[in-house]
Structures are given as structure tokens and as C-alpha cells.
């Protein structure tokens, strides 16, 4: 999935915001909580990381090009290297799942404000 496709997908999720953190990472958040990170520069450029359901973590990290995300693996985040084996459709579904996992843990009042326009 190209960066522009990724940005379009994440931007289209209700209440999703984006910013640059750590000088070279594009971060998408909902309710101030991260749900996806794309490295934009440096040796890890193009690496995408996001949260997955606890019961899918080990299954996904057994696939080629899918690794536990540095610093976030304990929270069941995975990291996709360029050349990973997941299709764009699978990545899209997993990103939407990441958004939903993070959104579901937000306070109820905040969740209720995150409706589709």
C-alpha cells in the first residue's frame, strides 16, 4: 500500500488525526491515541506499524516481513517491512481493526463524538 493510499484510508476514519512525531514518523491517532505509524525517513523508511488483536499477534508475526513492532510489541503492535506478504486488502482490514481496537478503549463520551460525517 502506497503512502497516499494509506493516508487516504486513515484520514477517512471518523475522528482520525495525523501528525509527525519523533522528527520522521507520520502518526495517525484517534482521540489522541495512536493507531498507526509510518516511518518516512532513514533506514526504516516505509515501515508501517499498527495494533492488532491479541489473538492475531503471534499468527501475524509468523508471516514473512511481519515483525513485532519495536517498543510497542508488548501492546500487540506489528511492523511491516517492505516486501511483506500481506495484500493491500489485508493491510486495509488490519488498519481498520487497529483503529477500532484503539477507539474501543477511549472513554464512552469521547467515542460518541467520533461519528462519521
Please report whether residue 114 resides in a domain. Answer: no
Please report whether residue 87 resides in a domain. Answer: yes
Question: Which percentage of the chain shows pLDDT scores above 90?
Answer: 86
Q: What is the pTM of this model?
A: 0.92
Could you tell me the CATH number of the domain that includes residue 58? 3.90.1150.30
Please report whether residue 110 resides in a domain. Answer: no
Please report whether residue 77 resides in a domain. Answer: yes
Residue 58 domain boundaries: 3-105
Number of domains in the chain: 1
Which are the contacts of 29, defined by CB distance < 8 A and separation ≥ 6? 16, 17, 18, 19, 35, 102
More confident residue, 117 or 47: 47
Please report whether residue 117 resides in a domain. Answer: no
Q: What mean pLDDT, rounded, does the chain reach?
A: 94
Residue 30 pairs with which residues in a beta bridge?
Answer: 16, 33
The tens digit of pLDDT for each residue in 56-111 reads 999 999 999 999 999 999 999 999 998 899 999 999 999 999 999 999 999 999 99
Please report whether residue 113 resides in a domain. Answer: no
More confident residue, 3 or 68: 68
Amino acid at each position: 500500500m502506497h503512502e497516499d493510499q494509506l493516508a487516504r484510508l486513515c484520514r477517512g476514519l471518523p475522528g482520525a488525526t495525523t501528525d509527525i512525531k519523533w522528527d520522521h514518523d507520520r502518526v495517525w491517532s484517534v482521540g489522541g491515541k495512536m493507531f498507526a505509524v509510518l516511518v518516512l525517513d532513514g533506514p526504516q523508511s516505509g515501515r508501517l506499524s499498527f495494533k492488532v488483536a491479541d489473538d492475531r499477534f503471534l499468527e501475524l508475526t509468523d508471516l514473512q516481513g511481519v515483525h513485532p513492532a519495536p517498543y510497542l510489541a508488548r501492546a500487540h503492535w506489528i511492523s511491516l517491512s517492505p516486501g511483506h506478504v500481506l495484500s493491500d486488502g489485508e493491510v486495509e482490514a488490519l488498519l481498520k481493526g487497529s483503529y477500532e481496537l484503539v477507539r474501543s478503549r477511549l472513554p464512552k463520551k469521547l467515542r460518541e463524538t467520533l461519528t462519521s460525517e
